[in-house]
A and B are shown apart, each in its own frame.
Chain A
Amino acid sequence: MTYLAKPKLHHPALPKNELGFTRRDYEGAVSTLCAGCGHDSISAAIVQACFELALPPHRIAKLSGIGCSSKTPTYFLGVSHGFNSVHGRMPSVLTGANLANRDLIYLGVSGDGDSASIGLGQFAHVLRRGVNMVYIVENNGVYGLTKGQFSATSDKGSKSKRGVQNLDAPIDLVGMALQLGATFVARSFSGDKEQLVPVIMAALRHHGAAFIDVISPCVAFNNHLGSTKSFDYVREHNDAVNRLDVIEGRAEITAEYAPGTLENVVQHDGSVLRLRKIHADYDAHDRLGAMAYLQERQAAGEIVTGLLYVDPEAHDLHDHIETVETPLNALGEAELIPGSAALQKLNASLR
């Protein structure tokens, strides 16, 4: 962390996006997390993704729970409204926010303590409802702010900094998200920006519940030998099934690819996800196949990353409950109040 304020002056040659914003316009306050924290890399990736997609920053609402990861929304998108809610309960707050205004982009940021322990129920239900959002878990397998207790995503046999072995089975949030009906499921690594930025971009462009599990090593409490969430361990065991590019509109394919290694996925809003397959036989539209593959690799000690599942024709909660196109928070008296005549009629039926 640093106590120095960020310089307000921008380099005049900083590239601008379609809206005329520079990358700096998507930044937030200076991070107070530990130097080298994986979470800061994720914040940077979010900034980069929003910049590249040229999203109007004020049309994004960022919500979080409690914990190191949940502090991060302060450190990106400084002109967006943010909500640091209750431990493990970000999903319900985000659901309500989304119901009130379907026109904003919702970014939920959580951690493994927040989502896999105290908030496991809300994590599950927000996904099964199909709330249109990007739900990022910054997964480090450890409680940071309370100084290094195991979290529920810690692998069995993983060692804490003090050498204690975790004896409980881990919760695999990606496996759960697949099972619960999330329509976009990815896993990435905070140390792999090349993979992470396009995954976040693709998720932001997804209409439906998008879940990204980002392994994000905790440099203070979970980056040692014996941990399965350390930088070294994740680098050594990263089994990326694909690489992704997000293209606004249909761009031509210029590079040469071996047959069967490239797939264009057109999402609801017309954005194209270009999947560069690393495993030629991995099908990102096969939910059951993804679940089986993940289980198999996990048993082998590997960490599968990439876009693991996407349904480009997904529906969201508003589609399910058939709400009006106008955001509910923009409806006025005329649309909401039935008036005195209707009430008189109702009175008459109650006599």
Chain B
Amino acid sequence: MPQPITSTNDFVVKFANVNGSGSASANLLFARSILRMGAPVATRNIFPSNIQGLPTWYEVRVSAAGHLGRRGGVDLMVAMNPQTWAQDVTSIDPGGYLFYDSTKPMPPSKFRDDITVIGMPLTEICNQAYSDPRQRQLFKNIIYVGALASLLGIDVAAVEQLIGEQYKGKEKLFAPNRDALHLGHDYAAKHLKPIGLRVARAEAVGDRIFIDGNSASALGAVYGGATVAAWYPITPSTSMAEAFQRYCRRFRVDPVTQKNRYAIIQGEDELASIGIVIGAAWNGARAFTCTSGPGISLMQEFLGLAYFAEIPAVVFDVQRAGPSTGMPTRTQQADILAAAYASHGDTKHLLLFPEDPHECFEFGALAFDLADRLQTPVFVMLDLDIGMNEWLTRPFHWDDKRQLDRGKVMTAADLDAGKEFGRYLDVDGDGIPYRTYPGTHPNKGAFFTRGTSRDRYAKYTEDGAAYVDNMQRLLRKFETAKKLVPAAVCTPAKQPTKVGVIYFGSTSAAMHEALAALEDQALHLDALRVRGFPFGPEVSEFIAAHEQVFVVEQNRDAQLRTLLLVEGGIDPAKLVPVLHYDGTPITERFITGAISALLRAAKPLREVAS
């Protein structure tokens, strides 16, 4: 048998559970208790399209160095699901550990001889302690959290404190949870030997917070001044709409009248949802919808109308894998092109690529300013990995002096003062015209909104020259957008290099770790994180400054690469795709492996010689 793995604050624990068994909150408690010990964690849910009964997994990566990407591999498997037993046992790294419910004896053939097996009769303990079947199930989860705390050296007081915060003011719920925790902890302390994996107190978490990207986006929408939300249930974006509802109940109820300063409509479909958003935005409210790939497909016609009619609409796209049920509960970055060029006619849209929940909040709020300023749809491109997993992320910040940028809106006073109003008139040379909200003035500033077929004063025309004139102005507006979307962020290599890498969104965490690992192999890459589309000049400058640029994406067709080629007029040979698209979040191991292999293949002589 290989030496059992020993590691402090640097290992992966994977929980194999049955969907709907109440394990999610127990597993989250486990992760948060490690954070309370001061050690960074990265957690990921792998869940089925199912309500109850199918397998679900939860990975907790403890990383003293603060790596937040998915690592891959398993050091400790908490195998609570008989359905997936064989696959779960197989997935443990040699020298790793298996924790399981040993109530029912299992033949030795079900185990491996290169891992350490830790059996604990969880069912038996529960059956003795509880008579209610529901309690037996729920507290079994808390009992294993207690046992793991003992095995790994997590301070049980920290866990108890978390339970206390969770059930603040609900003593009836707190007491039995606390008791179950200690039941598990005490049993493990008495009967089980400590293992090689340890959680030690550290100071590596700092002031960071632990939150999922969908909640952070919803909070961004609240701070961005959104008042109208329309949505249709779809995994993985539903929890954003729910979070918006939650935060609005908390922050947006008039304290005197108890009336709501928001309107949330569950549409009959995605078409209605985006239609409601467009109607509200046309009428001067900040509005958004949240959806995923299929919703983006359905919204295409409306998105074109919003582009041509120049209506600020904000869309949060929490990306997932393609059609069907099943894989759509897995992550991908596969809607880039569908969003960038959504709809018929010549259209281009603004995209924002948050890397973590902190940026989901930032970009979530910013999206509304950009949409109003540029009078156009703005997409915030999350993915399931950021959207539905809790991430350790920088705390949210808000400057109380910040004002909402409502863009160019002509008021009744402006109109009375004799300012010339032409809805599609480029008065400032930036391609952005003025608009009026309906109902502004008794006899000035009204206009008829259409997709196309009108002149600079919104008067109906089918004249081709007027169409071209308008399309050219829309291009000027898109140029203006380049200065307003968040610029790409460059991380230079430790020494000058002709090799670069471009990445975006949730790939960030794994990419940073991969850059360090590549550096260790003496492979130096300058890295550029793209944060928005249209790309600013810094993106083409970066590409121009390198001989070879890898583009790391979580889709099959290298969609960001295509966008870079098309919009930047770049030689395709220069941009080398590195693609990960099996539905699991991209890992450092994958990126390092792929890039180092490509680099070695490109310069075999020197590498082989060394």
Contacts and interface: CB of A to CB of B under 8 A. Distances in A.
Interface in A221-244: none
Contacts of A351: 35, 205, 207-210
Interface string B277-307: 1111111110100000000000001100100
Interface residues of B, number: 71
Interface stretch (A195-203, A207-215, A267-275, A333-341): A333-341
Interface in A35-89: 56-59, 61, 63, 73-74, 78-86, 89
B275 A82 contact: no
Interface stretch (B123-131, B255-263, B516-524): B255-263
B260 A322 contact: yes
B276 interface: yes
Interface in B326-369: none
Contacts of B269: 121
B396 A343 contact: yes
B34 interface: no
A31 B405 CA distance: 39
B285 A125 contact: no
A98 B438 CA distance: 11
B219 A336 contact: no
A56 B210 CA distance: 53
Given A96-B282, A100-B227, A100-B228, A338 B449 contact: no
Nearest to A129: B265
A350 interface: yes
A324 B257 CA distance: 8
Contact of B275 (A89, A335, A338): A89
A95 B264 CA distance: 11
Contacts of B598: none
Contact of A100 (B283, B400, B442): B283
A312 to B, nearest CB: 24
A350 B210 contact: yes
Given A125-B272, A347-B209, A96 B287 contact: yes
B403 interface: yes
A119 B209 CA distance: 45
Nearest to A89: B275
Interface string B193-210: 000000000000101111
Given A335-B261, A346-B219, A328 B211 contact: no
Interface in A313-351: 318, 321-325, 328-329, 331-333, 335-340, 342-343, 346-347, 350-351
A350 B28 CA distance: 12
Interface in A96-112: 96-101, 103-104
A122 interface: yes
B448 A84 contact: yes
A340 B279 contact: no
A79 B227 CA distance: 27
A307 interface: no
Contacts of B149: none
B553 to A, nearest CB: 30
B227 A336 contact: yes
Contact of A324 (B261, B399, B441): B261
A152 interface: no
A93 interface: yes
Contact of A328 (B209, B227, B403): B227
Contacts of B439: 58-59, 61, 81, 101, 103-104
A140 to B, nearest CB: 22
Contact of B438 (A61, A85, A124, A335): A61
Given A58-B442, A333-B403, A338 B222 contact: yes
A92 interface: yes
A83 B257 CA distance: 33
A94 interface: yes
Contact of B285 (A57, A83, A328): A328
B448 A82 contact: yes
Given A84-B448, A89-B271, A340-B398, A99 B263 contact: yes
Contacts of B222: 336-338
B476 interface: no
Given A323-B260, A328-B285, A95 B438 contact: no
A200 B450 CA distance: 25
Given A329-B227, A343-B397, A100 B280 contact: yes
Given A92-B275, A99-B265, A329 B209 contact: no
A174 B259 CA distance: 34
Contacts of B397: 340, 343
A61 B436 CA distance: 13
B268 A96 contact: no
Which residue, of B398, B443, B451, has the highest number of chain A Cβ atoms within 10 A? B398
B72 to A, nearest CB: 27
B267 A92 contact: yes
A79 B285 contact: no
Contacts of A333: 225, 403-404
Nearest to A19: B442
A124 B272 CA distance: 12
B457 interface: no
B438 A79 contact: no
B581 interface: no
Which residue, of A78, A81, A100, A342, has the highest number of chain B Cβ atoms within 10 A? A100
A86 B448 CA distance: 14
Nearest to A78: B446
Contacts of A78: 446
A101 B283 CA distance: 7
Given A58-B442, A79-B443, A100-B287, A85 B275 contact: yes
A32 B90 CA distance: 74
B460 interface: yes
A338 B279 CA distance: 25
B450 A84 contact: yes
A56 B441 CA distance: 10
A85 B276 CA distance: 11
Given A85-B275, A89-B302, A121 B449 contact: no
Contact of B228 (A73, A80, A96): A96
B590 interface: no
A331 B438 contact: no
Contacts of B271: 89, 92, 122
Contacts of B541: none
A82 B274 CA distance: 18
B461 interface: no
B395 interface: yes
B111 interface: no
Contacts of A337: 222-223, 225, 398, 404
Contacts of A100: 227-228, 279-285, 287
Contacts of B205: 351
A346 B247 CA distance: 10
A125 B262 CA distance: 20
A93 B276 contact: yes
A323 B264 CA distance: 10
A117 B226 CA distance: 33
B228 A99 contact: yes
Interface in B448-498: 448-451, 460
B254 interface: yes
Nearest to A101: B283
15 contacts: A58-B439, A58-B440, A61-B283, A96-B276, A96-B280, A96-B283, A97-B279, A98-B279, A101-B285, A104-B283, A325-B259, A328-B261, A329-B437, A332-B404, A337-B404
Given A89-B302, A92-B276, A350-B210, 16 more contacts: A83-B449, A92-B230, A96-B228, A96-B281, A96-B283, A99-B263, A99-B265, A121-B268, A122-B272, A129-B265, A331-B225, A331-B261, A333-B403, A336-B227, A338-B223, A340-B398
The 8 tightest CB contacts between A and B, nearest first, are A96-B279, A92-B275, A100-B285, A81-B438, A329-B284, A96-B280, A100-B283, A96-B276
